[in-house]
Chain A
Amino acid sequence: MESRRGSVWVIAEQIDCRILSVSLQLIGHARKLADELETSVEVILLGDKIEGQTQQLFAAGADRVYLGNAPHLSFYQPEIYTEIIVKLAKERQPEIILIGSTSMGRELAPLVAARLETGLTAHSIDLLLDENKILEQRVPAYGGLLSIICPKRRPQMATIARGVFPIPELDEKRTGEIVLLDVPGEIPRRIQTLEIIREEPEGVPLESTPIVVAGGAGASDLAGWRIIAALAEALNAALGSTRPAVDEGWAGLETMIGQSGKMVSPELYIGVGLSGELQHMVGIVRAQVMVAINNDPKSPVFEQVDYGIVDDCREFIPLFIEKIKEYQGKQVTC
């Protein structure tokens, strides 16, 4: 069912032959866009000995996988990855290219976009098609949402963070076409990734805990920040932060939630002393239950949560911790 419109592409990413979840999430959303555009979903997968990974791409919604399989593609090499994708895009003229907002994606996407002389957006929290079937990319900014479009040039390109879209239901019966790419051998190299070193991140990982406590500028100072950290500890929660808290040096960059940080979906989120800037809130919209503690009853954060406490967090939280401990104590004895 090829249409005259180009297809929707996803550049998949793999680490040690494991497909990243963000790639599957993007394929799931690409499927929706492609159905609406009456076109197909095509995925580019580059790596070494990865032919076994293609089935899950089909299961997630891909119609065709362009497979670049070679030892020198085993991990990201800027020049050759760019070269392969640009060449194929020039031949195939896709309508849309989606790339995960990972450290690879954030470098590869602009390299490809500039070569294809087209536009690229970051930080979208939603992708939809407008009345002219143009990709409308919604980016939070300035307390609202900007809709960004690339009206004239093709492809339309976007990087999307993990967690913006859910992992689609995998249909293991789905199949598709595998197109083996003619991988260039040694192209003239001016840059080479020699090695990838993985380091264990510190602290409770934000992405996998059921409770996240996040703090913002309202902590006022390090002493205030420690009170928020104590709440996280009492709840056995991961401690997240906003950009101002990182800028103040209270929290590390790896704890930042939101647009340029992490997207998390815990069961419970408690935001303390933060104003509900969309750049932060987009990272947490998928939480089940959301609570805000802020001293300003007019704070926009209260428009975005389920429960609000208007109080001075320095005074409220120590008491709250005490009550939590009482509650936890009862749970154990009952």
Chain B
Amino acid sequence: MIDFTFTEEQEMFRKAAREFAETQVAPKVPEMEEAGKVNDEVVKALGEAEMMALTIPEEYGGLGLGYVARLIALEEISRVSVATAMMLQIFGLGIEPIIRFGNEEQKRRYLPGLAKGERLATVAVTEATGGSDPKSGRTSYKRDGDDYIINGRKCFITNSHIADTVTVLAKDEEDPEVFTAFIVEKGMEGFRPSHEEHKVGMRGCNTGELVFEHCRVPRENLLGEEGKGMRVAMAAIGEVGRGGMVGCALGLQAACLEASLKFANERILYGKPISNLQTIQNKLAEMRIDLEAGRLLGYRAAAMQDRGMRSSNEFAVAKYFTTEAAQKGAKTAVDIHGGYGCLEEYPVSRYYRDSIVLGPSAGTSDIMKVIIARWVLKPFRK
């Protein structure tokens, strides 16, 4: 049976997330935009609202609510602040490898603090050589007694400067085909964030570079099996990373449509609100079509994930569609606003800047197509 309705409980989650977003996040947006920095109060509020606990199992201090609930939360938060949703999505991405591949001891050590927001997480895969081709990365590790020594640099890392717990992918110094994942903690010898990027959009979340200089990581911080690191990284990114971007994109789409509807009904031209003009109506209708379709794709993939089904391809489709739609929607929203769309007082100018950042995060649209093509061609390849 296909049921396309949200349960009463899911509707209540949405209400809770919206209330949270509107009361705790929205008032901080101007400050975040001005400072171009993470707002500590927003991070604290996210923790208090248990937003980092959504996907963490109950036995490790989480709520165990799964990925539809997470998508609802991300969409609602992104509706008021894409940057905050992005930060939260990457917390989730950083948490996921520990849930999926951590041993009992690691789960007990990290997850309760991560659930409360006392510890913040991220994942570090991307390097200057590329993010979607992780094998080209140069960050390496070697055994040294009971420890491992990591050397290299990771870039475009969201939450780079605020994360306490980082899942790092590195290759064997001796064998470039062998990858292993490690949990690196803030304060470990030889590990430090270096410079912070200044992005055109999502100014309230932090993106930067991580440096590993003879970083010593104890053996118990090895995540998953030695040599199986690529699986650890990919499993998290394919579903949780792309899924998170869908949440960010859907929220932005909804915000663009809302702002456009409001403006089009207030702005008078030829003596009438511009929403009476068919050309504007066309644009509004298209935004709604994209939002409806995006939600169906995104929530379907998240529902599959909740049932334990493999959903990375479906998420690739949803990620492609929703981020493209959000970019188109943001452009349309700015167009509807005319001259006002260029003014910072109007939120659509921020939406437009934020939409740019949605593209490359967790894989560009072109990469999504590569993945989708690989999926559709699979039956024809040996």
Q: Which residues of A contact B (CB under 8 A)?
A: 218, 220, 223, 295-297, 310-312
Query: B interface, by DSSP: helix, strand, loop or mixed?
Result: mixed
Chain B residues with CB under 8 A of A223: 345
| A310 surroundings in chain B (CB, below 8 A) | 268, 271
List which B332-349 residues lie within 8 A (CB) of chain A: 345
Taking the closest CB of chain B, its distance from the CB of A274, in whole angstroms, is 13
Known: A223-B345, A295-B267, A312-B266. 15 other contacts (CB 8 A): A218-B266, A220-B262, A220-B266, A295-B266, A295-B268, A295-B273, A296-B265, A296-B273, A297-B271, A297-B272, A310-B268, A310-B271, A311-B268, A312-B267, A312-B268
Q: Min CB distance, B349 to chain A, in Å?
A: 14
Docked CA distance A311–B272 (Å)? 9
Instruction: Decide if the interface of chain A is mainly helix, strand, loop or mixed.
Output: loop
Closest 9 CB pairs of A and B: A295-B268, A312-B268, A295-B266, A223-B345, A312-B267, A311-B268, A312-B266, A296-B273, A295-B273
- Cβ contacts B202-245/A at 8 Å (1 or 0 each): 00000000000000000000000000000000000000000000
CB distance from A74 to the nearest CB of B (A): 43
Q: How far, in angstroms, from A223 to B343 measured CA to CA in the complex?
A: 13
Using Cβ atoms and an 8 Å threshold, which residues of chain A touch B273?
295-296
Q: 1/0 per position for B253-276, CB-CB distance to A under 8 A?
A: 000000000100111100111000
**B-side contacts of A295, CB under 8 Å:** 266-268, 273
Query: Which A residues lie within 8 Å of B271 (CB)?
Result: 297, 310
Cβ contacts A to B, 18 pairs, < 8 Å:
A218-B266, A220-B262, A220-B266, A223-B345, A295-B266, A295-B267, A295-B268, A295-B273, A296-B265, A296-B273, A297-B271, A297-B272, A310-B268, A310-B271, A311-B268, A312-B266, A312-B267, A312-B268
B79-138 contacts to A, CB under 8 A, are: none
Report the minimal beta-carbon distance from B277 to chain A, rounded to whole angstroms: 15
Cα distance, A310 to B267, chains bound together (Å): 11
Which residues from chain B contact A297 at a C-beta distance below 8 Å? Answer: 271-272
Residues of B within 8 A of A220 (CB): 262, 266
Bound form: Cα–Cα A312–B262 in Å? 13
> In whole angstroms, how far apart are the Cα atoms of A243 and B271 in the complex?
28
**Could you tell me the distance between the alpha carbons of A311 and B271 in the complex, rounded to whole angstroms?**
8
A220 to B272, CA, bound (A): 18
Task: Report the nearest B residue to A223, measured CB to CB.
Answer: B345
A312 to B340, CA, bound (A): 13
A218 to B268, CA, bound (A): 13
Q: Nearest chain A CB to B99's CB is how many angstroms away?
A: 40
Within 8 A of A (CB), among B267-321: 267-268, 271-273
Q: How far is the CA of A220 from the CA of B267 in the complex (A)?
A: 12
Task: Kindly state the separation between the CA atoms of A93 and B272 in the bound complex, as whole angstroms.
Answer: 58
Q: How far is the CB of B97 from chain A (nearest CB, A)?
A: 41
For B27, the closest partner residue in chain A by CB is: A249
Nearest Cβ on chain B to A239's Cβ, whole angstroms: 21
Q: How far is the CA of A295 from the CA of B273 in the complex (A)?
A: 8
Q: List A contacts of B267 (CB < 8 A).
A: 295, 312
For the complex, give the distance between the alpha carbons of A109 and B271 in Å.
49
A201 to chain B, nearest CB (A): 26
Taking CB atoms, residues of chain B closer than 8 Å to A312 are: 266-268
CA distance A331 to B138 in the complex (A): 78
Closest to A273 in B: B266
Contact pattern, B 16-53, Cβ under 8 Å of A = 1, otherwise 0: 00000000000000000000000000000000000000
> Which chain A residue shows the least CB distance to B340?
A314
Identify which of B268, B271, B272, B273 gathers the most chain A CB atoms within 10 Å of its CB.
B268
- Chain A residues near B268: list those with CB within 8 A: 295, 310-312
Nearest-neighbour CB distance to chain A for B103, whole angstroms, equals: 50
A312 to B268, alpha carbons, bound, how many Å? Answer: 6
Residues of A contacting B272 with CB < 8 Å?
297
Taken together as a complex, chains A and B put the C-alpha atoms of A32 and B45 apart, in Å, by: 60
**In the bound complex, what is the Cα–Cα distance between A297 and B273 (angstroms)?**
9
Closest to B265 in A: A296
Bound-state CA distance A5–B178 (Å) is: 101
A residues near B262, Cβ cutoff 8 Å? 220
Beta-carbon contacts of B348-381 to A below 8 Å, as 1s and 0s? 0000000000000000000000000000000000
Distance of B203 from chain A, by nearest CB (Å): 20
Q: How far is the CA of A296 from the CA of B266 in the complex (A)?
A: 7
What is the CA–CA distance of A295 and B265 in the complex, to the nearest angstrom? 9
Please, how many angstroms separate the alpha-carbon atoms of A120 and B338 in the complex? Answer: 53
* Least Cβ–Cβ distance between B371 and chain A, in angstroms: 41
Report the minimal beta-carbon distance from A206 to chain B, rounded to whole angstroms. Answer: 27
For the complex formed, measure the closest distance between the CB of A271 and the CB atoms of chain B, giving whole angstroms. 16
CB distance from B255 to the nearest CB of A (A): 14
- A151 to B279: give the CA distance in the assembly, Å: 56
Closest B residue, CB atoms, query A218: B266
Question: B260 → chain A, closest Cβ, in Å?
Answer: 13
A residues less than 8 Å from B265 (CB atoms): 296
CB distance from A273 to the nearest CB of B (A): 9
- Cα A218 to Cα B271 in complex, Å, equals 17
Chain B residue, CB-CB nearest to A312: B268
- The CA of A220 and the CA of B258, in the complex, are separated in Å by 13
Chain A residues lying within 8 Å of B266, measured Cβ to Cβ, are 218, 220, 295, 312
